[in-house]
Structure 1
């Protein structure tokens, strides 16, 4: 009999528990009320607020929580979070739809410690403003963090941007109270095409939000919004100090120096472009990836030619993304330019000797010409007197001969 009473007691407890759970599962809760979205004037930083449903005003045994869902316009996906608060701030792209929905959650003594969420939600969709010249917004916006020293952002104008338009750039991050205008605009033909930020004026590993808007005679330009972290925009300076040499008859060593600046050496990765010209003139091109600023390759034929270029970027262990640097200048082995440069000084000396000899000859010729001209001026009258003597002598001789033979018959036939 005792066993039967124990069984009945257990069955009664199970029945009571089942009925309680059934009542709990049958319990419903209303969604939040008064959902509002406030623009703080920080380039899309929105404050979302709501109130608990009126049906929970007098509830004391359970403190409501809320499930907030919103569409992240920068990541292009839905974000979900749970909070006991009735306010939340996050960033949106104001040029796109802002979609938000909120649910009420109860969990505690009032629900027998079982979570109950409202079947319905309170939601809102905010449309971007439709004002502005159609299709006249900035395009191809990009920022480059040069050598982790200064940030430069640029954009292009739409084909439909009015010629009279004046574009402006504003930025904001969590350390600023309000959005700030570009400190130094980049101009092209008097037109704003970008913005230059001085060194350390923007924080790293922090979301920074940009807005490019403008005005024109045809009306305001439609604003465009962008978000980024500057450490993901780094472009390294191309390596400029390359060293190439043979360590032995079988190895070719190629190494280079890290770029100057505040770039962490352990974050750099490299790509080497190797151009090989065989003894038969056949050219092959190969790309080699390395995490160290050096490379050793087999070398067997002195009649072959090996040329190298290098570029670098920050690796994925340090940043989410980065830009490749420009390619360095090309260095080769054997270096024909060095051969020419080694012959160059000798050729230069020969050229100098030739120039000196030509100058000396010219000076001598000019000196001789001057000397001759001076002598001719000094000896001019004497030469004229000397030239008259033969004429005078000839005239006197003729007169004397005519006197001797005057009155005499002269034979015309003369035998010599």
Structure 2
């Protein structure tokens, strides 16, 4: 770990500028502001939720009564972008990917009557770059880690063991979120031939709209295979159950109406978007497939050529207004037009 002074570099950020900041010292009564003198990272064992602290500048041109703020910028490896905040405090906690470098920069801001009520920003920043403690030159101990919030009932996480890892190396999964004082181990491992391949949280509540941090590691002290860290919010991992009671009816003029119901459970109906798969088999044996997106739980099709077979299936996922991402459900039972009851 090292702390260093560096010239201000141009980099891509998505910072929200909340205040008017003066960066040219000759535009602000000649006031010169130094950056903080030191940055430290404190790891409280929360699987990537780290505390950043810094010390004030050694001098502020002899002016101590002026209000001071700090602009913190850090690289979010999960989102692959720079993020930042302004704060009067000398500490801030943020989420980091412990498998990658931790990269932090802090500026000083000076305001108040001594700067004509504008904010003077230090021309330089103090920077910290911290390398991972275990890089794992053969990769991570597990691969393809994924979690699914099954119909918003319980979370299931699965992984594949790295083929380069020792056969008898036991795996452990730990997790943490802000409602926990300490990390906890997986409540129920999923096994295949005695090998841990996942974790079930059935009966174990996890909070929504909160970062949940995970780590899978082994008991080996070697660093040839690194631990796996990730962070997610479970409302972005929902996979709904398949649609209920798909019903197909034929109208008096040959039109066809398909209706279905949302799956049982906690998934709100107004959060679901749907896809209908229209599968038409012609008399010559060829198939025609068509995907139809909809926000409704029914569709009416115009009169169809009855010289063949028309079948339908439905699936759903959470739309982007309720979750950043979601998994498609399994397809519903297949319903085919047999010229049945009218609607």
Partner of 1:117: 121
Distance in 2 (alpha carbons) for counterparts of 1:107 and 1:136: 47
8 Å CA contact 2:32–2:60 kept in 1: the answer is no
**SS, match of residue 114 in structure 2:** helix
Q: How far apart are 1:277 and its partner, in Å?
A: 3.2
**SS, match of residue 227 in structure 2:** strand
Q: How far apart are 1:129 and its partner, in Å?
A: 0.8
Q: 1:131-150: per-residue Cα shift (whole Å, max 9, x none)?
A: 76732521101001111111
Task: Quote the RMSD (CA, aligned, Å).
Answer: 2.4
Partner of 2:19: none
Q: Does 1:214 align with 2:218?
A: yes
Distance in 1 (alpha carbons) for counterparts of 2:221 and 2:121: 53
Partner of 1:166: 170
**SS, match of residue 219 in structure 2:** strand
Q: How far apart are 1:218 and its partner, in Å?
A: 6.3
Distance in 1 (alpha carbons) for counterparts of 2:281 and 2:127: 68
Pairing 1:295-334 to 2, within 5 Å after superposition: 295-334=299-338
Q: How far apart are 1:152 and its partner, in Å?
A: 0.2
Pairing 1:170-319 to 2, within 5 Å after superposition: 170-199=174-203, 201-216=205-220, 221-278=225-282, 283-319=287-323
Q: Greater share of strand residues, 1 or 2?
A: 2
Distance in 2 (alpha carbons) for counterparts of 1:200 and 1:218: 32
Q: 1:17-37: per-residue Cα shift (whole Å, max 9, x none)?
A: xxxx95844321211123211
Pairing 1:16-415 to 2, within 5 Å after superposition: 24-56=28-60, 59-130=63-134, 134-199=138-203, 201-216=205-220, 221-278=225-282, 283-334=287-338
Choose 1 or 2 for highest CA Rg: 1
Distance in 2 (alpha carbons) for counterparts of 1:60 and 1:135: 50
TM-score (normalizing by structure 2) = 0.85
The verdict on how the C-alpha distance between 1:76 and 1:283 changes in structure 2, with shifts beyond 3 A counting, is: closer
Distance in 2 (alpha carbons) for counterparts of 1:258 and 1:79: 39
The verdict on how the C-alpha distance between 1:219 and 1:105 changes in structure 2, with shifts beyond 3 A counting, is: closer
8 Å CA contact 1:151–1:199 kept in 2: the answer is no
Mean CA deviation greater in 246-255 or 144-153: 246-255
Q: How far apart are 1:109 and its partner, in Å?
A: 2.0
Distance in 2 (alpha carbons) for counterparts of 1:153 and 1:23: 56
The verdict on how the C-alpha distance between 1:280 and 1:105 changes in structure 2, with shifts beyond 3 A counting, is: same
Give structure 1 stretches of 5+ with no counterpart: 1-20, 337-416
TM-score (normalizing by structure 1) = 0.71
Q: 1:91-114: per-residue Cα shift (whole Å, max 9, x none)?
A: 111111001111111112222333
Q: 1:318-375: per-residue Cα shift (whole Å, max 9, x none)?
A: 1111111112232212289xxxxxxxxxxxxxxxxxxxxxxxxxxxxxxxxxxxxxxx
Distance in 2 (alpha carbons) for counterparts of 1:219 and 1:189: 26
The verdict on how the C-alpha distance between 1:29 and 1:307 changes in structure 2, with shifts beyond 3 A counting, is: same
Q: 1:224-256: per-residue Cα shift (whole Å, max 9, x none)?
A: 111111111111112252211212132112112
The verdict on how the C-alpha distance between 1:184 and 1:303 changes in structure 2, with shifts beyond 3 A counting, is: same
Give structure 2 stretches of 5+ with no counterpart: 1-24
The verdict on how the C-alpha distance between 1:299 and 1:200 changes in structure 2, with shifts beyond 3 A counting, is: farther
Q: Which has the higher contact order (CA 8 A, sep 6+)?
A: 2
Q: Greater share of helix residues, 1 or 2?
A: 1
Mean CA deviation greater in 216-225 or 60-69: 216-225
Distance in 2 (alpha carbons) for counterparts of 1:192 and 1:253: 47
Q: How far apart are 1:282 and its partner, in Å?
A: 5.0
Distance in 2 (alpha carbons) for counterparts of 1:89 and 1:219: 27
Partner of 1:11: none
8 Å CA contact 2:75–2:82 kept in 1: the answer is yes
Q: How far apart are 1:61 and its partner, in Å?
A: 3.0
The number of residues matched between the two structures is: 316
